[in-house]
Amino acid sequence: MAAARVLARGVRLGSYSIGRSRSLIFNTVQGRGIAACIDPSIGLTDEQKDFQKVAFDFAANEMAPHMAEWDLKEIFPVEAMRKAAQLGFGGIYVNPDVGGSGLSRLDTSIIFEALSTGCVSTTAYISIHNMCAWMIDTFGNNEQREKFCPDLCAMQKFASYCLTEPGSGSDAASLLTSATLQGDHYILNGSKAFISGGGDTDVYVVMCRTGGKGPKGISCLVVEKGTPGLSFGKKEKKVGWNSQPTRAVIFEDCAVPVINRLGAEGEGFSIAMKGLNGGRINIASCSLGAAHASVLLARDHMCVRKQFGETLSNSQFLQFKLAEMATKLVASRLLVRQAAVALQEGRPEAVSLCSMAKLFVTDECFSICNQALQIHGGYGYLKDYAVQQYVRDIRVHQILEGTNEVMRMIIARSLLTES
C-alpha cells in the first residue's frame, strides 16, 4: 500500500498540478490510496514488492513531475533515464556479469508497469532499450556482450531496434535492407522506418538481408553511431510518445564489421522475433501503468466533480463504468503476468500468450484510459490534465511491436496448426 500511496501522490502532484486544474488536483490528493482490489502488489513476493516500490517512487519523483514538459517540448530525458539505470532499470533482464539486473520477465513487467505511471513514453523507450540489451546479451558472443552490455545497462549508451522499413511493416520478413559481405565487413544499403530513439541513440540492432528472400535470409548486425554511411531522417511529429525521438535510419554503403553480427547468418529474423516476445509483454506492461493511473484519476475526478447537485460518483452509470474499468485492468494484469511467467519458463505456449497479452491488454488499457478521459468531460481534453497524455501515449501500443492484427494472426496460427 505504501507504493500505492506514492503513486497516488506522484500522479496528481506531477507536472499537471498547474493552472485551472490545480485546485481539482490538490482536492483529490488528501491521503487517498487505492482500493485493494486493483493494488498491483497483490500476489507479489516481498522482494518484488520492494523493487515495485522503488519503481513507483522513481515514477512519482523523477518522471511524473516532468512528463508534461517532456511531451510538450519533445525532450528525450537522458539524465532521468541514467538515474533509472542506477536503480538497475537499464538492463533488467540482462545477466549480471555484464551489468544487468538478472531479473525475470515477471519482475520486468512489474517494474515497467510502475514506471509508466510516471511517463509512458519514456518507460516505453526504456523497454525497447532493455529488449536490445537482452538481444545482445542472449545472442552475442562474450566479446560482443562485454563490449556493448555494460554501457547499455548503465544507459551510458542507448539502443534502438531496427526492423521496420518503409515497404515492410507487418510483413517484416520481406525487409530489403541489404548487407553484402566484403572481406571482414558487411556493406549495408537501405533504410529503416519509425525507429524509436533513432538519431539520439548509440547502438542500432539492425535486421538486414544477407541471403535470399524470406525470414531465413535475414541476419542481425549491431551498428554503432558514427559509422560512415549511417544517417538519420527528420524527427517525426507524433500524436504521443513525444519524450522519445522517432526517425528513419538510413544506410548508404555503411561498412559494419562482421564481428558485429549477432548469431549466425540467417538467424536474424528469429533473434528479432525472440526479442519481440518480451517486447510485447513490456509494452503491454506500459499500457497497464497508464490504465492503472487513469482509473485512479477517473475515480478521484468522480469524487470531486459535481453536476446535477451531486458528485459524479453518485451516478450509477459512472459507478458501473468505473467498476468495468477496474475489472478490465485487473484481468489485463493477470494475463500479462501469466505470459511473462510462460516466457521466463520457455513454455511452448509462450509466444501465443505474449501475443494474447499484447492484443488484449493494449486494447483494453487504451479503452480504460479513453473512458477515464470521458469521465473527466471537457477537462479530460485539456492538456492541464494527465489523462489525455496517457491516452495519446498508449494509442501506439496497439500498432507497434507487431500490430494487434498481427497478434491475431499469431494466435490463430497457433490454434489452427498445433494439436
Ligand X SMILES: Cc1cc2nc3c(=O)[nH]c(=O)nc-3n(C[C@H](O)[C@H](O)[C@H](O)COP(=O)(O)OP(=O)(O)OC[C@H]3O[C@@H](n4cnc5c(N)ncnc54)[C@H](O)[C@@H]3O)c2cc1C
Work out how close the CB of 160 gets to ligand X at its nearest, in angstroms, rounded to a whole number: 6
**Would you say 373 or 396 has its CB closer to ligand X?**
396
- Candidates 17, 117, 164, 277: give the one binding ligand X (CB under 6 A): 164
**Would you say 94 or 132 has its CB closer to ligand X?**
132
- Candidates 227, 311, 327, 403: give the one binding ligand X (CB under 6 A): 403
Output the 3-class SS for the chain. Answer: CHHHHHHHHHHHCCCCCCHHHHHHHHHCCCCCCCCHHHCCCCCCCHHHHHHHHHHHHHHHHHHHHHHHHHHHHCCCCHHHHHHHHHCCCCCCCCCHHHCCCCCCHHHHHHHHHHHHCCCHHHHHHHHHHHHHHHHHHHHCCHHHHHHHHHHHHCCCCCEEEECCECCECCCHHHCCCEEEEECCEEEEEEEEEEEECCCCCCEEEEEEECCCCCHHHEEEEEEECCCCCEEECCCCCCCCCCCCCEEEEEEEEEEEEHHHEECCCCCHHHHHHHHHHHHHHHHHHHHHHHHHHHHHHHHHHHHHCEECCEEHHHCHHHHHHHHHHHHHHHHHHHHHHHHHHHHHCCCCCHHHHHHHHHHHHHHHHHHHHHHHHHHCHHHHHCCCCCHHHHHHHHHHHHCCCCCHHHHHHHHHHHHHHCC
**205 lines the binding site for ligand X (CB under 6 A):** no
- Candidates 175, 396, 410, 411: give the one binding ligand X (CB under 6 A): 396
- Candidates 52, 196, 260, 285: give the one binding ligand X (CB under 6 A): 196
**360 lines the binding site for ligand X (CB under 6 A):** no
**405 lines the binding site for ligand X (CB under 6 A):** yes
The whole-angstrom separation of Cα 227 and Cα 187 is: 11
**Would you say 11 or 128 has its CB closer to ligand X?**
128
* Residue of 71, 84, 158, 161 lying closest to 121 (CA atoms): 71
User: Candidates 56-64, 98-106, 194-202, 312-320 — which segment interacts with ligand X by CB under 6 A?
Assistant: 194-202
User: Candidates 12-20, 105-113, 132-140, 238-246 — which segment interacts with ligand X by CB under 6 A?
Assistant: 238-246
**Would you say 53 or 225 has its CB closer to ligand X?**
225
Q: Which of 143, 401, 405, 418 is catalytic?
A: 401
- Candidates 16, 76, 194, 204: give the one binding ligand X (CB under 6 A): 194
Distances (CA, A) of 3 to 26, 114, 119, 387: 19, 9, 16, 20
Residue where the block lists cell 519481440: 276
**238 lines the binding site for ligand X (CB under 6 A):** yes
**Would you say 274 or 337 has its CB closer to ligand X?**
274
User: Candidates 156-164, 251-259, 317-325, 349-357 — which segment interacts with ligand X by CB under 6 A?
Assistant: 156-164
**269 lines the binding site for ligand X (CB under 6 A):** no
**195 lines the binding site for ligand X (CB under 6 A):** yes
User: Candidates 39-47, 161-169, 273-281, 331-339 — which segment interacts with ligand X by CB under 6 A?
Assistant: 161-169
- Candidates 302, 400, 410, 411: give the one binding ligand X (CB under 6 A): 400
Applying CB under 6 A, what is the total number of residues that bind ligand X?
20
**246 lines the binding site for ligand X (CB under 6 A):** yes
**223 lines the binding site for ligand X (CB under 6 A):** no
**234 lines the binding site for ligand X (CB under 6 A):** no
The whole-angstrom separation of Cα 418 and Cα 242 is: 41
47 is catalytic: no
Work out how close the CB of 401 gets to ligand X at its nearest, in angstroms, rounded to a whole number: 6
The residues in 56-95 that bind ligand X, with binding defined as CB under 6 A, are: none
Catalytic residue list: 401
The contact set with ligand X (CB under 6 A) reads 128, 160-164, 169-170, 194-196, 238, 241, 246, 396, 399-400, 403, 405-406
